[in-house]
Amino acid sequence: MWLIFCLFLLFILVSADLYFGRRKAMNKPFQKSYPHRKGKIDFFSSGPELFDQLFADIKNAQHRVLCLFYIVKDDECSQRFFSVLKEAAKRGVEVYLLMDRLGSHKVKKSIMHDLKQAGVHVDFSCKPRLPYLFFSLQQRNHRKITVIDDRIGYLGGFNVGREYINESQKPALSPWRDYHLRFNGEVVQDLEAEFLADWNQEKRPFLKAIYRENACKQGVKQAILPSKNGELEDTLVSLIAATKQSMFIGSPYFTPSKPVFQQLIAALERGVSITILLPAHADHSLVKQASYPYLRKLLQYQNARIHLFNKGFYHAKIVIFDNRFCDIGTANFDERSQLINWECNCLIDSSQFIANIQPVIEKDIANSETLTLDGLNHLSIDERVKEQVAKLVCKYL
């Protein structure tokens, strides 16, 4: 009896912590917006290729390197990353590394000390804090931003670790499929501004911008979309509501917020064709089963298509609207990213850019299996049990 009472009390305390913590966060004004700019965008879907380019750019840095990652691990890939940063710092480049406290929990104190000794300015973002401890554990800095000098910027889904370069110890999660962007042009100043906004918190030494205005009149039209306290939900609702013909959604997780899901249903009802690409193999417990109720409702419409990537792990975060607007960045298509996490996406207004990356998307769809309503309605007993459990804990996945 006492055990039941204690569990009930714990549930009440956690629920109150989450409710009031989120309410306080939502009351903080954010609403930051950046103008549409033009510039060059390089698209990466392979970890080894991305990190070869990223490390080469850091090695060629002359003034400053800013890196923000949700996950940095303590493995061979991460050690190579740390070495590149330390080498840059030792030759006089200002180097700043910010990592999410929970996502990068494997980075030990000894590693932090070693980085600081080499001259790297390093710290953790979103440290758990009172009075809303459990909410602070839920709200993560999920961004992956790099800015090199005032010339090059990076944004996308890749973190730093061996699985991201196709060396996962779990065979089902390799190769790792993800999408990441490399920028040249005016938008670099906006990525720099987002990094500085995150760095200039939690009593860290204040860091100023060094971006020098370099007008770019040619290239892909683009805009940086940062979000913290529900802004992403509002953005997606508006974009889906304006969609007339087709949508493509690629995400490792699919548990959208209620308003976003309602807009998807409304889009299907007015004839919009929606294609969704998700991983067949999950990297976390219950996240796949948590998506089943949403997918089951979508598949009741003939203009909904759902594919499960089964040639490794699909971790990309992309939404394409009417083959005109393309949203790529750090946000998953789930309630956590849409309402709680700190995220950063890029909205690209270019049919040509979408046409250029279409072969990659088509290849990923070709390396997938089609999910059917009949398949979801005839799950194994194990899957049905997991789905019921997922319904109870989906807010915390």
Domain boundary, last residue among 221, 250, 265: 221
In a domain, 4, yes or no: no
Residues 153 and 234 in one domain: no
- How far is Cα 206 from Cα 201, in angstroms, rounded to an integer? 8
Residues 290 and 215 in one domain: no
Domain boundary, last residue among 190, 221, 252: 221
- How far is Cα 118 from Cα 35, in angstroms, rounded to an integer? 37
Residues 286 and 211 in one domain: no
Question: What residues of the chain score a pLDDT lower than 70?
Answer: 1, 3-5, 7-8, 10-11, 14-15, 17-31, 211-216, 395-397
Sign of CA dihedral 250, 252, 255, 257: negative
Tell me, what's the pLDDT at 393?
75
| C-beta neighbour count of 290 within 10 angstroms | 26
- How far is Cα 325 from Cα 323, in angstroms, rounded to an integer? 6
Residues 112 and 240 in one domain: no
For the chain, what is the largest distance between any 2 Cα atoms, rounded to a whole number of angstroms? 70
Residues 191 and 277 in one domain: no
In a domain, 44, yes or no: yes
Residues 278 and 238 in one domain: yes
Tell me, what's the pLDDT at 11?
66
Tell me, what's the pLDDT at 6?
72
Report the DSSP beta bridge partners of residue 248: 275, 320
In a domain, 22, yes or no: no
Structure pTM? Answer: 0.94
In a domain, 2, yes or no: no
Residues 245 and 374 in one domain: yes
| C-beta neighbour count of 69 within 10 angstroms | 26
In a domain, 59, yes or no: yes
Residues 198 and 235 in one domain: no
- How far is Cα 239 from Cα 60, in angstroms, rounded to an integer? 39
Q: In sequence order, what are the residues at sequence separation of 6 or more whose Cβ sits closer than 8 angstroms to the Cβ of residue 375?
A: none
Q: Which domain covers residue 267, as residue numbers? A: 228-397
In a domain, 5, yes or no: no
Tell me, what's the pLDDT at 33?
86
- How far is Cα 360 from Cα 321, in angstroms, rounded to an integer? 17
In a domain, 26, yes or no: no
Residues 319 and 289 in one domain: yes
What does DSSP say about strands 220-227 and 333-334: parallel, antiparallel, or unpaired?
unpaired
Cα atoms in the 13 Å half-sphere on the side-chain side of 196: 13
Domain boundary, last residue among 170, 194, 221: 221
Closest CA to 317 of 188, 143, 173, 161: 143
Residues 329 and 248 in one domain: yes
Q: Which amino acid is at 40?
A: K
- How far is Cα 316 from Cα 176, in angstroms, rounded to an integer? 9
Residues 200 and 321 in one domain: no
CATH of residue 184 = 3.30.870.10
Residues 259 and 389 in one domain: yes
Report the DSSP beta bridge partners of residue 246: 273
In a domain, 23, yes or no: no
pLDDT tens for each residue of 135-175: 777 889 999 999 999 899 999 999 999 999 999 989 999 99
The total number of structural domains in the chain stands at 2
